[in-house]
Amino acid sequence: MASSGQIPDRQITLYHFQSSYFSQMARLAFVEKHIAYVSKIVNILQGETYAPDFVAISPACEVPAITISNGDSITAISGSQEIIDYLDSITTDPDPFYNQQKEQINAFRQRCVDLPMAEITLGIVRHPHLLEGTKIPQNVIDNFSRRVDRKQLMIDNIQRYPHLAHFYQTKLQRVIEVENNSDENTLRELLADLDTFLDQVNAQLRTAARMHGDHDGKHYDGWLFGRNFSNADIALATLLARLDLLGRAGHFWDMTERVFLADYYRRLKERPSFQQECVTNMS
C-alpha cells in the first residue's frame, strides 16, 4: 500500500482478523489515510488473542492492535480508536476540514463506537426468528459454532499465567456480559435503540445534503459532515457493513423512509476502500 502520510523509517504492524468489527474500522482508516502497514492475522476463532505474547501487545485480549518499530524501540497501541488517533497524529498533511469540525466528528464517532455491536451481533445470530425477513449467512453462523470455548480458555490461562490473570479475568467478565445481554428481550431493546440512532444518522445526512448539495438536497455525493470522508464516516461505514452482513440492510434502510442513509450506503459500496476492507458477505 502506498503511503503519503507516514513518517519514514517507521514500520507499523497491524494485528487484526478479517471479519472482526473493530479490525475493519482500523483497516479502513489505514487505507483512507494512505498509511502503509504490515498485516499480521490473529485468529480470534482459535483463541489466538488470548496467547501471552499477544496479551503483551493488547492487554484487552482483543484485535486490532499495532506495534510501531522505530529504530531500536517498539511501541504497542491497542484499540481501534486509539489506533485511528495515532494515525492522525503521524499524518504529515492534516486535513484542515477535520480540524474545523473535529468536535462534531469525534462526538459522532464515539456514538458509533459505543453501540453494543457485540451484543447485537450475537443476539441476531442466536435469535433470528425475532427478525422477520432476516437471512443470516450460514458462514456467519458457522464462525460462531467454530469459535473456541473462550470462557474455558481464559479460566485455564488464569491458572497457567498468573502474571496475566488480571487481563484474562477482565476479558472473561466482558465475554460473560455480552452473552448475558444477548437474550431476546435485551435484543429487542438494543435494536429499538439502533433504529432511533439510524433515524438521527439519516437526519444528519439530510442536513449535510442541504448544506453541501443542491438546493433540495436530492443530489448529494458527500458524506456525514460534508464533502470529505472523515473518521465519523469510517465508524459509520463499519456499522452499516456489519448490519448488511447480518441481513438487516432491508429493515434499517433499503425498505424504509431513510432515503439519505440508503443513498449513503449505495455510495459507500462503490468506494474502493470500503470494498477492500469492510466485510458485507462471507464466502
Mean pLDDT score, 137-146: 86
Q: Which three cell numbers stand for residue 11?
A: 514500520
Q: Does residue 24 register a pLDDT over 70?
A: yes
Q: What's the CA gap between 62 and 64, in Å, rounded?
A: 6
Query: Which fold, 11-94?
Result: Glutaredoxin (3.40.30)
Mean pLDDT score, 148-155: 96
Q: Does residue 263 register a pLDDT over 70?
A: yes
Closest CA to 224 of 250, 198, 243: 198
Binned at pLDDT 50, 70 and 90, residue 216 comes out as: low
Q: What is the DSSP letter of 130?
A: G
Q: What's the CA gap between 63 and 97, in Å, rounded?
A: 30
